[in-house]
Structure 1
Amino acid sequence: MARSQPSVGLRPYLPADAAVLAAIFVESIEGLTGDDYTEGQQQAWMSAADDEEHFGAALGKDLTLVATLESSPVGFASLKGADHIEMLYVHPSAAGQGVASALCEALEKLAAARGATRLTVDASDTAHDFFRKRGYADQQRSTVNVGDEWLVRTRMQKALVPVEKGPMQ
């Protein structure tokens, strides 16, 4: 008998999540970006999680959601301000199970509820197709210097459907 896939749960980020999300960040880069980035680029990118306290503080500044499968964190995403996806990372073992889609959909709804008419993201080459399939359009290619490495990314944008406000809001 086929076993159904566990459903993705979402919850707010808590400071106690910093270590596990730093590990997901590193393992996601290490396990999923090798076709698009060199080992040196990956190492430079992953270094953002070397200081877990600083990493956690950065997550706490934005609206960060944690995705879980069977109560275990497997991914996270952050909304900076009302209209920019700052981070979206999924553990390689959970890739392809709807985790990134659930996180992105939630951020899109939250951004619309905050009054945003569009949402932007600086997508890695690895994440580009994921965002394109969700309706994000390329705006501009750029590079960012991380340590001694240059990483290529694409600014993408999606128009959001306004949230209807009910009579009680």
Structure 2
Amino acid sequence: MFEEDYPLRPFLPADAMALRDLFAQSIDELTVDDYDEDQRIAWASSAEDADEFRARLAAALTLVVQLEGEYLGFGSLKDNKTIDMLYVHPDYAGEGVGTALADALEKIAGARGAEALTVDASDTAVPFFERRGYVAAQRNSVPRDDQWLSNTTMIKRLVESQPKKPLKPS
């Protein structure tokens, strides 16, 4: 399946529980090479409060990929300048779901006038964002419960600055 074949739709409050499960499964299965078990548990626990997780998704522009009732992934754009979350179900990793979501979030941000997008990419996600033209700006250590999680703030310019045209003499 090609990324343009994935149906994207806005987040609905009824999606929250399924997306919470997808979030935890994605962290648990896809980041095992980069984060130890305690780190993955601490990271996934950030969605334990269902109301808080639902509110976080609702506060951003969150897109969902759902096919035949199954949730494949979701991504959220915060303040039109930050990809806050981008998670793909482990069964669909590497099949274009993340690409479809990132393409859509970048297009929406650009259409709304954003000149650049930032993302705090997990060590697992850095190669994905590098392939999309994001550049590492800084390394971060984020406290979560009693664990420290590393990630990288990455930036992608959405519009190239145009050289100023000289004024024509009148």
Instruction: Judge same fold: TM > 0.5, yes or no.
Output: yes
Structure 1 runs not aligned, ≥5 long? 163-169
Q: What is the match of residue 111 of structure 1?
A: 109
Deviations 1:65-113 (A, max 9, x none): 0012344221100000011000000000011110000000000001101
Q: Residues 5 and 110 of structure 1: is their aligned pair in 2 closer, same or farther, counting only changes over 3 Å?
A: closer
What letter is aligned with 1:93? D
Matches of 2:125 and 2:106, distance apart in 1: 16
On the 8 A contact 1:33/1:126 being kept in 2, the answer is yes
Q: What is the match of residue 96 of structure 1?
A: 94
What letter is aligned with 1:12? P
Structure exhibiting the larger radius of gyration computed from Cα positions = 2
Matches of 1:32 and 1:147, distance apart in 2: 21
Matches of 2:33 and 2:45, distance apart in 1: 19
Matches of 2:71 and 2:33, distance apart in 1: 25
On the 8 A contact 2:2/2:96 being kept in 1, the answer is no
Mapping of 1:10-159 within 5 angstroms?
A: 10-159=8-157
Q: What is the match of residue 8 of structure 1?
A: 6
Deviations 1:43-72 (A, max 9, x none): 000001211121111100000000123442
On the 8 A contact 2:134/2:156 being kept in 1, the answer is yes
Q: Residues 5 and 109 of structure 1: is their aligned pair in 2 closer, same or farther, counting only changes over 3 Å?
A: closer
Matches of 1:45 and 1:66, distance apart in 2: 21
Where do 4+ consecutive residues of structure 1 move more than 4 Å?
none
Give the alignment's TM-score, normalised by structure 2: 0.90
Give the alignment's TM-score, normalised by structure 1: 0.90
Matches of 2:47 and 2:155, distance apart in 1: 26
Deviating more after overlay: 44-53 vs 31-40: 44-53
Structure 2 runs not aligned, ≥5 long? 161-170
Offset at residue 5 of structure 1 (A): 6.6
Matches of 1:81 and 1:41, distance apart in 2: 28
What letter is aligned with 1:158? K
What letter is aligned with 1:13? F
On the 8 A contact 1:9/1:71 being kept in 2, the answer is no
On the 8 A contact 1:24/1:89 being kept in 2, the answer is yes
Aligned-residue identity in percent: 53
- How many residues were matched structurally? 159
